[in-house]
């Protein structure tokens, strides 16, 4: 199956990635996970509920940002491909070209 067929059938999922163990992202995620119970225990119940709402609400801007990065990256890749294979503008001409 070629790329377009895989895309059509839903076999292309650029978001299906896992954090590498020991990476900076993994360490940051573990830091938050390790310290969140301490923060929650230090807060009164109503503030704990507010903290949960903030974490839940953060998911939407994260998704918007991820979508934007995906679109910009895709456009950059398409522009690179276009310039590589379609665009023939160059500062010089080939000696075999007619004037």
Q: Hey, where are the domains in the chain?
A: 20-84
| The pLDDT of residue 98 is above 80 | no
- The Cβ of residue 43 has, within 10 Å, a number of other Cβ atoms equal to 13
Strands (E), 1-99: none
What tens digit of pLDDT does each residue of 54-88 get? 989 998 999 899 899 989 998 999 999 998 888 88
Three-class SS state of 26: helix
Burial class (CB within 10 angstroms; exposed 0-12, middle 13-18, buried 19+) of 82: exposed
pTM for this model (two decimals): 0.58
Q: What is the mean pLDDT of residues 30-46?
A: 92
| Rounded Cα gap, residues 83 and 77, in angstroms | 10
């Amino acid at each position: 199956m070629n790329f377009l067929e895989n895309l059509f059938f839903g076999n292309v999922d650029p978001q299906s990635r896992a954090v590498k163990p020991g990476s900076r992202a993994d360490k940051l995620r573990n830091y938050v996970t390790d310290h969140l119970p301490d923060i929650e225990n230090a807060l009164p119940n109503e503030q704990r509920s507010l903290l949960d709402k903030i974490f839940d609400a953060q998911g939407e801007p994260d998704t918007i940002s991820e979508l934007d990065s995906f679109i910009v990256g895709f456009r950059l890749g398409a522009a690179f491909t276009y310039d590589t294979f379609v665009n023939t503008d160059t500062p010089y001409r080939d000696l075999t070209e007619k004037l």
